[in-house]
Amino acid sequence: MKYRKMGSLDWEVSALGFGCMRLPTKKENGNDIIDEEEAIKMIRYAIDNGVNYFDTAFPYHNETSELVVGKALQEGYREKIKLVTKLPMWIVTERDDFDKYLNKQLEKLQTDHIDIYLFHGLNNQTFQLVKKYELIEKMEEAKTAGKIRHIGFSFHDSYDVYNEIIDYYDWDATQIQWNFVDHNTQATTKGLEYAASKGIAVIVMEPIKGGKLANPTKEIEEIIENAPVKRTAANWALQYVWNHPGVSVVLSGMSTFDQVKENIESAEQSGINLLSQEELKIISDMTTRYRKKSIVPCTYCEYCQPCPSSVSIPLNFRLLNELLWVDSTEQMREKYKYFASKEEDLNAKNNYGAASLCTECGECLDKCPQMIDIPSELKKVHLVLGEDNELSGVYKLFLRGPVFVDKEEFQIIGIEDVGKRENRNTAAIWAKFQQEITAVSSRDASHGLGIRIGTEELQKKGEERYIVSNEVSSTEIVPEGMITETIHAQKYAVFTHIGSLINISETYEYIYGDWLVNNTRYERVPWVAEFEWYDARFSLVSEDSELDLYIPIQAK
């Protein structure tokens, strides 16, 4: 086993960490329960082979994961590892809940201390609860009492929220979703590197994207087969994450004994900056192909479960996504027919509820780490799988999203053009901007923004403000002919346009003519900036190009 530095902590961690969210299961009375004997065998084998980091949480496996992990760590195994669990933030309603859940977790895990206790799934909303109930002070009290050793948080939101949380406290550890497909979402690579620069141990979850990256399409299989280095698809994904010097430990949610053995072997081959430029190019090629093969960005984490209407949300999304991976649409539709479409059929079908049972209650929306508009997507699942509509007729296959992002206030420096869109020489504005902005040392050069701002007065003339810009940390230096602007904090629906810009007008037509018109929860905020986000994924000529569109929204 290879070991790595655990941030600024005084211990080394195994490159591979054991995530206990996807332990092996078996059927009992029609329900899926953990196969305790197999799970304990897997956990102890991992420890015997050098894995010293184990991660669980209160809700995993219907609140039974911690119990099984506690059993597995008896007979001297607890002393050999670092044990991590999490405070379930979505059910914290008062300050005293901290002690209630921590004490319950210690009892279930059969231990007197947690090595790292994480705030579970922090986002903008739950972070406010941390501040409201002074939960960091509760963490510190528990640390003084010896119940926990280190303090951290797991995360699911935007980079701006992540940056704010990182700067709020002197954290020991942070857990983020990061893989070669998702490196520009949520915390992002920039956030990973920022946390690591502050000495915070970075724990990576979903390195194989809920198992999706371990199951390649024929096209990706050909890339792997032709690669000069022979690795499984899962191993390619893991090596990409281990290659980054800022990563301390990589979690894998292993469901079979073979997965444990395979991942341990992969960890033994791991290293920092080990991948060649040729290998990184191979991964880049796989990235573009994987992105095109995922319609709904669900990782099957099951945080949205249970659904009040008994919809098996992740299973419905999995069937839909597999339409782009298999040749037979009928095969997926036959599987969908197995799901219960009526409440009275649920017991007979193991509570596997079809998408058509969704009542749009919205309870799942705040729970989803990927910020998926679940009710809207479930409607589309049923249209395709239940009503036999063509996939291309329901989904714009060159468009993904939306996901919802709360972006904090930011400043820009850029070049402004005020006028009619059809009269604008956009290419010339960008060319001038790229020449002038190099003088601004405070700019964030990782992405550029094409910002559109309207006013009532401009609208009457059919005009708008268009600003080509970079985000900046300071406006002290503003080259002549450029402007500064403050874009206030705002919630956005973020869509990703895939491929060339030929279909960009169709993308906007869908957003404004369909999605916003038919959305029952959100509406566009009038006269607030919307923008196009151009980063390394964008190419003017490539069919693999990606461009993010940020549309400001508010609740209706």
Interval 147-200: pLDDT, tens: 999 999 999 888 888 999 999 999 999 999 999 988 877 888 989 999 999 999
Give CA–CA dist 118/136, Å, rounded.
Answer: 11
Helices 313-322 and 374-381: crossing angle in degrees, nearest 10, is 50
Of 353, 545, 532, nearest in space to 449 by CA: 532
* pLDDT of the chain, 556 residues: tens digit per residue: 999 999 999 999 999 999 999 999 998 887 889 999 999 999 999 999 999 999 999 999 989 999 999 999 999 999 999 999 999 998 999 999 999 999 999 999 999 999 999 999 998 889 999 999 999 999 999 999 999 999 999 998 888 889 999 999 999 999 999 999 888 778 889 899 999 999 999 999 999 988 888 888 788 888 999 999 999 999 999 999 999 999 999 999 999 999 999 999 999 999 999 999 999 989 988 887 776 667 888 877 788 888 999 999 988 988 888 787 665 688 888 889 888 998 888 887 777 899 999 999 988 987 887 778 899 899 999 999 999 998 888 887 788 888 788 888 999 999 999 999 899 999 999 999 999 999 999 999 989 999 999 999 999 999 999 999 999 999 999 999 999 999 999 999 999 998 888 889 999 999 999 899 988 888 999 999 999 999 888 988 787 788 999 999 998 8
Bridge partners of 554, per DSSP, are 523
User: CB count, 10 Å around CB of 491?
Assistant: 16
pLDDT of residue 287: 84
pLDDT of residue 326: 64
pLDDT of residue 351: 75
Q: Is 43 helix (H, G, I), strand (E, B) or coil?
A: helix
- Please, are residues 357 and 378 in contact by the beta-carbon 8 Å criterion? no
For residue 154, the one-letter residue type is: S
Give CA–CA dist 111/120, Å, rounded.
Answer: 20
Burial class (CB in 10 A: 0-12, 13-18, 19+), 483: middle
pLDDT of residue 366: 79
Collect all residues with Cβ–Cβ distance below 8 Å to 540 and sequence separation of at least 6: 500, 501
- Please, are residues 76 and 111 in contact by the beta-carbon 8 Å criterion? no
DSSP string, 467-529: EEEEEES--S---TT-EEEEEPPEEEEEEEEES-GGGHHHHHHHIIIIIHHH-SSEEEPTT--
pLDDT of residue 503: 82
* Domains of the chain with CATH codes: 3-215+240-272 (3.20.20.100), 313-394 (no CATH), 406-555 (3.20.80.10)
Both tokens of residue 230? 């022979």
pLDDT of residue 525: 96
Helices 135-144 and 97-109: crossing angle in degrees, nearest 10, is 40
pLDDT of residue 536: 83
- Please, are residues 201 and 173 in contact by the beta-carbon 8 Å criterion? yes
Collect all residues with Cβ–Cβ distance below 8 Å to 296 and sequence separation of at least 6: 317, 320, 321, 372, 377
pLDDT of residue 325: 67
pLDDT of residue 379: 93
Helices 65-72 and 36-48: crossing angle in degrees, nearest 10, is 50
pLDDT of residue 131: 96
**pLDDT tens-place string over residues 249-300:** 999 999 999 999 999 999 999 999 999 999 998 998 888 777 666 788 887 7
Of 283, 262, 264, 287, nearest in space to 274 by CA: 283
Both tokens of residue 495? 């869509």
Q: What is the dihedral of CA 402, 408, 410, 414, to 10 degrees?
A: 10
Burial class (CB in 10 A: 0-12, 13-18, 19+), 555: exposed
pLDDT of residue 284: 84
